[in-house]
C-alpha cells in the first residue's frame, strides 16, 4: 500500500554555486541534457581545480550529487596526474565510465578542460553509447 505522505518526493531542480551568466548557461546545459535524457538520475558540472559544484540536478531524493562530485574530483585529478608520466604525455582524458549493476556514471571533461560534467542514468533508461554521445555533443 502506498500512502502519499510516506513516500519520498522527487526533486527536480538545479542547484549549485555558479551565479550570473554562468548560472544561466549551466541551467541551459542542464535543460539540454533533460531534453535528451529526461529520466536521468543526476547531472553535475564541477570546477576541477577547486572542486566546487557549479550546477547540480537530481531527480531522486536519495541521490546526492554533491557527495559524488567530491569523490569524482579526486578521481579526475589523479587521472590528470597520471597523464604526466612519460608514456602518457600526449594523451588526454575524454571521459571516465563507471558501470554499476543498474546505473551508468560518466565523467567527461568539458571543452575548457577546467570543468567536468558528471552524469548518472539508469541502465534501463539508456545505453552507454547513447549517454556518452550526448555527453560528447553537449559538453563540446
Spatial separation of the C-alpha atoms in residues 115 and 13, rounded to whole Å? 21
Digit-coded pLDDT (tens) for 15-69: 777 778 888 898 999 999 999 999 999 999 999 999 999 999 988 878 888 888 8
How high is the pLDDT of residue 4? 53
- Nearest CA to 44 out of 35, 59, 130 is that of 59
Q: What is the DSSP string of 17-31?
A: S--HHHHHHHHHHHH
Q: Is the pLDDT of residue 5 over 80?
A: no
How high is the pLDDT of residue 10? 47
Q: Is the pLDDT of residue 8 over 60?
A: no
Are the CB atoms for 135 and 108 separated by under 8 Å? yes
Spatial separation of the C-alpha atoms in residues 43 and 27, rounded to whole Å? 11
Are the CB atoms for 106 and 43 separated by under 8 Å? no
Digit-coded pLDDT (tens) for 65-88: 888 888 899 999 998 888 888 888
Are the CB atoms for 96 and 16 separated by under 8 Å? no
pTM: 0.85
Domains in the chain and their CATH numbers? 4-139 (3.30.450.30)
Specify the 3-state DSSP secondary structure of 113. coil
How many CA atoms lie less than 13 Å away from 136 in the CB half-sphere? 11
- Nearest CA to 56 out of 100, 101, 98, 11 is that of 11
8: burial class by Cβ within 10 Å (0-12, 13-18, 19+)? exposed
Amino acid at each position: 500500500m502506498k500512502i502519499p505522505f510516506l513516500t519520498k518526493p522527487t526533486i527536480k531542480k538545479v542547484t549549485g554555486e555558479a551565479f550570473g551568466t554562468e548560472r544561466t548557461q549551466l541551467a541551459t546545459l542542464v535543460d539540454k541534457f533533460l531534453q535528451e535524457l529526461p529520466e536521468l538520475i543526476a547531472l553535475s558540472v564541477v570546477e576541477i581545480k577547486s572542486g566546487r559544484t557549479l550546477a547540480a540536478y537530481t531527480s531522486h531524493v536519495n541521490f546526492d550529487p554533491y557527495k559524488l562530485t567530491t569523490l569524482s574530483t579526486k578521481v579526475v585529478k589523479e587521472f590528470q596526474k597520471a597523464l604526466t608520466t612519460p608514456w602518457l604525455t600526449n594523451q588526454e582524458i575524454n571521459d571516465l565510465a563507471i558501470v554499476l549493476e543498474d546505473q551508468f556514471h560518466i565523467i567527461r571533461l568539458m571543452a575548457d578542460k577546467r570543468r567536468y560534467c558528471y552524469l548518472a542514468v539508469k541502465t534501463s533508461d539508456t545505453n552507454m553509447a547513447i549517454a556518452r554521445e550526448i555527453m560528447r555533443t553537449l559538453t563540446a
